[in-house]
Structure 1
């Protein structure tokens, strides 16, 4: 296992994770370096390559806890400051909030098509029959609309995908997302 490859592969995901738990960008960068150092020092302890992600995020969680312990010595933290007590939404939950606005920003025909098929779960064949369209035309329109939707997400966020092509994490790009 090569620490440079591991770090390159997981850096953005770790940084996004740290940003959800630490307010200061300078502290995030410091903690990211600390995680890299701890990972390098303990690389020999990992036995299964498939558990690298879990292992890294366990180091990250412990590093964040240590950070807050060190920062909070001598003062009492309230419940709002204890990030580990708060439910952390996964990437899909967070991105789902963008889905409707992004779909609505598409041309009206495409927005209606994706709403019926992706949101309401209507089969493409049923949609084609209901609108008296050729099934292959609907498939083509759905593909084109999905590509437009993907572009909206890509313009707004850096998407990380797993080996199956599923979104595993995201990092918002600088500036504000444009839904329209």
Structure 2
């Protein structure tokens, strides 16, 4: 199985992560999961899609863990004061978004900070704020929508085929966010 699948799986993974080393680690993880869970596969005809689902989930897990390892900001003031010397478009837009969060209504600001920066699930957000799971999910989605609206009012964005910001231009010099 390794000989047949390792090259196409590695290509699949490398298209979705930046580092060859990370791709290799994810590939090893995929084969570990295949080995330990193959007994639960019900339909052998769907083996290929099952394997690629494991790969997609492993990539998502990789990014989830990487996000968790990044710095967590305790207060909105700390979040707003962060600056980064690197100047890629994604990082600059991320800084704008961090500033924009401070302009959200309190309930949306709280939802974004707790889910995106303190890594709470939407269910945990609901439990913490007294909302139902669907109410918490709606609040996070509305907050994201408001951030997107603010960003698009402020900036003109150019994306690559993967959805990464490759360039941006402020629509006016008096943007209060960036």
What TM-score does the superposition give when structure 2 sets the normalisation length? Answer: 0.47
When Rg is computed on C-alpha atoms for both structures, the one with the higher figure is: 1
Specify which structure has the bigger relative contact order, considering alpha-carbon pairs within 8 angstroms and separated by 6 or more residues. Answer: 1
What TM-score does the superposition give when structure 1 sets the normalisation length? Answer: 0.47
